[in-house]
Structures are given as C-alpha cells and as structure tokens.
Chain A
C-alpha cells in the first residue's frame, strides 16, 4: 500500500500527488517512470516521476485526469492509499556529452515531465532554457517551479491568454533564428508536439531527445506492448526508453498504436460522466 501524503489540484484537469514510496524515492532519476495500480480491478498505468525526495521517502506524480484510471486516482485524497507502485522503470535521461546549453520544451501536461529534466540539468550546472506551451491561461502549471530551475522561461499559450501567443515550435524556431545555439533539445509532450519540435531541430542537426508514451502493461520488458520503431528497428520503450533520439522515431506509428483502445476509452469516459450526473 502506498499512501498519498500530498494532493494538489493544479488545474481542473491536472493533479499533483505525492506518494510515500521510500525505495523508489531513493533511486529514481530524471526521465524514469513508475507504474501504478489503484486497486484490485485497476489497470497498470505508467507515469513519469515529476519529483522525488529521498530524505522524506516520497515521489511526486503529476497527471492529467483523462481516463478511467486517472479518474479513479483523482478521486483519492491525502491519507488514502493505492495498491501498487513499482519503479524506477526505464533508463534515466542521458544528454549528449559536453552539452552546455539545453532547451527543454514541454507541451501541456508534458511540462510535468519536462520539469524534473530542467531541474536536474540546472543542478548539474548546465544552461537551461525552458519553453512551456499550454492551450490557454487556465491550464498553465508549474510556472514558479520552472522559473527556479532555468535561465530563461518562455511561456506560450495557443490562444495568447498568457505569455507568448503560439506553439512551442514557433517559440523554438524564433530563438534559433535569433542566433541562440542549443547543444541539445529535450521535447516532452503530446506526440504531435514532439514530432513537430523534431522537424524544427532536424533542420539544424540539433540532437533532440523525446520521451515516448506508448501503451504499457508490465513495464519491465515482458510483453512487447510498448514497442516503438526507432531507426527502423523495434525497441521496447519501457526498458530501452522512454527517451529516444527524436529524429529517428516513427511518431505516426506511435500515434496510431496509442489509439488501440480508443473505443473502450471513450465508453469509460461516458460512463464516468453518467455516474457523475
């Protein structure tokens, strides 16, 4: 049993939860993820770890409340426990050797994962710019946290209600056009966003690391459900990723495979809304 020691609703669809998980907290590094299961009937769901506190023995997850399992999780409160939490899974993020200036690009709730990256790079003494994009002002998250761990924060909203108007790709292109040189880019967010950031950086040969989010069941390499095609080869995101060279990833295939259970997911959402009504 893993207890929730802190819960904070960051916006109507994004929640932060801090869990008591001392073994994971002691080992987890930026880029790694956990798999959680709320209860006996629950699915095994992967989430990247947003933060950890080895002294307290806790890890923090930030998740979008979008489907059945995240809705179940969001219904719990401080003091409640979930049945299972396993990790740290995946390989920690590795940035190219000798890289000095990095741009971390986060999209939507992907910013929750961009945050630990920015934090650890900043702590290691690298120059870090963060470009964080959201649809609109009311879903901006972690602004203060980002400000503390980067040299420059560029906030974008699609509708211009906060920060710069436009997509993260526009902001990134603009900065490169203005002569800013990045040794590497880390892009984390919805698959189309990562795909288009990579299209920008490809033109300039800037090494780009992406964090992939295929459907997973076990997370330890035994089912192959999370297989992605990188450089024409099958790779298991749970054991060889979740980070991969963005210029070699077949994003279209990933987007397609992520729709495997779309019908069932829609049914679950309808049922959850009906329950609420």
Chain B
C-alpha cells in the first residue's frame, strides 16, 4: 500500500542553536522505520523520471523498493552498482534539481517529492554500519590507467575502471585523497570519516592511491604515459580562487573561501590539538552566494563568530546555493545582506580588517548568465563592521596541467576542451569534472568520471585489437 502523505517523513536534525556551535552532522539520518515509511511514498512509476534526472543513472525505484522490503543491503548494492560514492551523494547532491526535481509525487501543489536523497543516504549508512563483507577485487586485465586528481571525478573514474579489471593509480596532490570532499565540504555536511571509508573501499578494489604527487611538477602527463599508463584521466578540479581586486584585500583578515575551508576541513583547524591556525573572528562577511559561501559562513559560526553575514550582489532568488543550505544557514543565524557588494575593505591601525564598505545594488537587465545584472546605487555605501572578509566569488581551473602538457587545449576560462567521449585534444588523455566545466557539483564530476571510464575502456580495448 503506497504511503500517500504529501510530505516527506521528517528527518531528525540537530537544533539550529546547538549545531551552529559544533561540527557534527546537521542531519541525523532516518531510522529504519522512517526509511521504510518514506520509501512507501514511491509509486514505482514505469517512466522513472527520477532516473533520467540522475547524472550517474542510479536505479532509484529499484533501490527504494528494496527498502520497502527491508532489504537494506540490497538497496545499497543497487545504488553502488552505478555510484561509487553512495554515502556522499545522499548528503551533498542537489536532489531538488535532479532526481527529486523530476519525481511525480512532487508535482502536485504543496506536495513534496519522495525523499530520494534521504533514502540513498540511509541505505549507504546502513551498509557502512552493518556490512563487513569484504570488497571484491576484480582480476587484472593487464592494462594501466593513471588518474590525475583524487576528487569525485577521479575517484569515480578509478572505481569504474577498477571494476573492469584495470590497474589504476590515482596521483593526488594533497596528503589525502578526496578533493573537495575533504577540503571544501564541511564536516557537518559530509563527515570526513565517511569520505575516507569510501576511499578505503576503492583501495580494497585494487585502486592504488599515491598522495603528495603533484602532476605537472613531480611528473608531467607525458612522463606518466612514458611510464606505461595507456590512458590518463585528468580530474584536477577548479581550485584556483578569485579575488575581487578591491582596496584592502591584502589586509590581515581577508582570505579566500578555499583557504578558510581548507584550514578547517582538511587541516582540522577547528579541533583542539591540531596545529593549523584559523583566523579568530568576531564578525565575518562572506562575499558570495553559492554553496561554498554557505559552507564558509556556517563554518565561521562554528568557529565562534558572533555575527556572520552573507554579502551578495543580487537578490536571494538569484543565489546559486541550494535552498536547503540557505535554509540551514538562516536557521543557524547567518544574516543575509543581499543586493549589496563590498567596494573597499578598511583596516585598523594594526593593518587588520575593521570594516567592509558595502554598496547597495538594484537589479537591471539580464546579463550573459541570464540573471538580472546588479547596478550600484550611488551614494549608498556604508561600513559593515567586521574583522574578517572571506571571498567566495568563484574558482577556476588550476593552470598547472594545461601549462605543462603539450597539446592540451583549454578555453578562455582555463577549462580543458573535451569531445563527446571526454577525450581532450591530446590522444589518450581524458578529462572531466570541474577541470572541464569550471566549478560545479560533486555529482556532475562523478557523472563525468563515469563517462570517461567507459570511453577509456573502449579506447584501450580498441587499441589492443
């Protein structure tokens, strides 16, 4: 009997006032009973619009049916057959614009789609907690592939190739694999222990992960091919931060969101006993309106700031951040100053930030992105008293790979050019994720890693004929 409730089963969450001061996961996850109840809201419709909304094609109605049958491990297995990072996707995917955005249950007025994301997370977590079945290591097919970058695109590509028997080596620049999963997305949205468990699963499948290896410095892509790797997948991300170029950006107390988040998430600067320092802030202005800005703002609260502002030049409707993240941020006490932009940062006598001069905006005609252009209102400047300004206005691909690899073309934004098979302009070199699209999402990077793995398999198999 399907559950005809118009709304999702409520998911337990930490109270906003409590969670705004700790780094534990905000959402506590469904119990088995809640999961089964939510799963019975799925009508198992034959057209499966949800599956077409998923960048990696998870067989959603199938895994949900398993949950209704209380075969939670079975549900996990279905998810895992198409997604190599199930515990991650259930937590960070923008389901509202993907699977859940297509769900028929959400089409009626005032109705919510099936909580597909919550159910995916439930199944993945259940597996992690209950299953100790050893991971199967496939037999080697004798072919070697190199992956540059151990983020979502690289990990997914590696996993899919390993399943087919390829000997895969990931070259990761940082001291730990995961990319944005480790340095960008905060602990309270995506626990690092979960990311590392997923990485361990890949190692158990035979993927070799070499950390502290910066391709483009220690080896070039050409040298990798000389070492016997028959194809290379570049998943080096878009980690180059942008600054506004306004006066005062070099004052003490101004940093990029990447730096702020890396100190906290990757280096665990929020934890007692960890050496990496993090700016001590009382009042923080985060400039930007995307998911990264939300992450930085919510992290700043947890680091002890009394006031945290999001300063965004358009209105809330135009903000690219997920509605859920904006909602959580507001609940926790982040103040949203929309239709405002900083024009200058002021310092005190010690050269430390004391205020951001903000100018108010109004919206005019749409610009190239299709969103209405912000137009400054003359004379509307005022001083926002803050001691920290975090620039979260976007990132672009790091130029290291394209500047050290002959024959690799990029567009004017620095993004690698690829054909419909994810191959770059250099034979045998594939690319996907933020390195190709510019800053986007984890799931899109995973989808790209998946497509690239398929193309690499075809390429190598054809070559050996």
A interface vs B, CB < 8 Å?
A: 23-24, 27, 37, 41-44, 68-69, 83-89, 217-218, 220-225, 227, 229, 234, 239, 253, 256-257, 259-261, 264
Contacts and interface: CB of A to CB of B under 8 A. Distances in A.
A267 B338 CA distance: 39
Nearest to A218: B262
Given A27-B217, A84-B211, A222 B276 contact: no
B273 interface: yes
A89 B398 contact: no
Nearest to B347: A256
Contacts of B399: 221
Nearest to A254: B250
B262 A24 contact: no
Contacts, number: 96
A256 B351 contact: yes
Looking at A218, A225, A227, A261, the one whose CB has the most chain B CB atoms below 10 A away is A218
A224 B217 contact: no
Interface in B381-437: 395, 398-400
Nearest to A233: B245
Nearest to A221: B398
Given A23-B213, A27-B217, A223-B262, A37 B175 contact: yes
B224 to A, nearest CB: 12
B398 A220 contact: yes
B175 A89 contact: no
Contacts of A260: 252, 279
Nearest to B253: A260
B11 interface: no
A270 B274 CA distance: 17
Contacts of A86: 173, 175, 212-214
Given A41-B275, A234-B245, A220 B173 contact: yes
Give the 10 A-B CB pairs with smallest separation, nearest first. A222-B239, A223-B259, A86-B212, A84-B175, A224-B256, A43-B275, A261-B277, A224-B241, A225-B259, A43-B276
Contacts of B267: 43-44, 217
B217 A87 contact: yes
A37 B211 CA distance: 13
B258 interface: yes
Contacts of B211: 84
Contacts of A43: 267, 275-277
Given A43-B276, A217-B263, A224-B258, A257 B175 contact: no
Contact of B174 (A218, A229, A261): A218
Nearest to A38: B275
B258 A223 contact: yes
B250 A87 contact: no
B255 interface: yes
A220 B404 CA distance: 14
A41 B243 contact: no
A227 B217 contact: no
A42 B273 CA distance: 9
A213 to B, nearest CB: 16
25 contacts: A23-B213, A37-B175, A41-B275, A42-B275, A43-B267, A43-B276, A44-B175, A68-B275, A84-B212, A86-B175, A86-B212, A87-B214, A87-B217, A87-B218, A88-B218, A217-B262, A218-B174, A220-B400, A221-B240, A221-B398, A221-B399, A222-B240, A222-B395, A223-B262, A256-B351
Contacts of B219: 23
Interface string B261-280: 01100011000011111010
A106 to B, nearest CB: 25
Contact of B252 (A223, A224, A257): A257
A253 B250 contact: yes
Contacts of A257: 250, 252
Contact of A24 (B218, B239, B400): B218
A41 B255 CA distance: 22
B12 to A, nearest CB: 31
Given A43-B275, A84-B211, A217-B267, A27 B218 contact: yes
A89 B276 contact: no
Given A44-B276, A229-B250, A89 B262 contact: no
Given A221-B399, A223-B241, A234-B245, 20 more contacts: A41-B273, A43-B275, A86-B173, A86-B212, A88-B217, A217-B267, A217-B276, A220-B400, A221-B240, A222-B258, A223-B258, A223-B259, A224-B243, A224-B258, A225-B259, A227-B250, A234-B249, A253-B250, A257-B250, A260-B252
Contacts of A225: 255-256, 259
B315 to A, nearest CB: 28
B142 to A, nearest CB: 25
B214 A220 contact: yes
A85 B213 CA distance: 9
Contacts of A218: 173-174, 262
Interface string B287-301: 000000000000000
A83 B175 contact: yes
Nearest to B184: A222
A41 B271 CA distance: 9
Q: Which of A224, A260, A264 has the most CB of B within 10 A?
A: A224
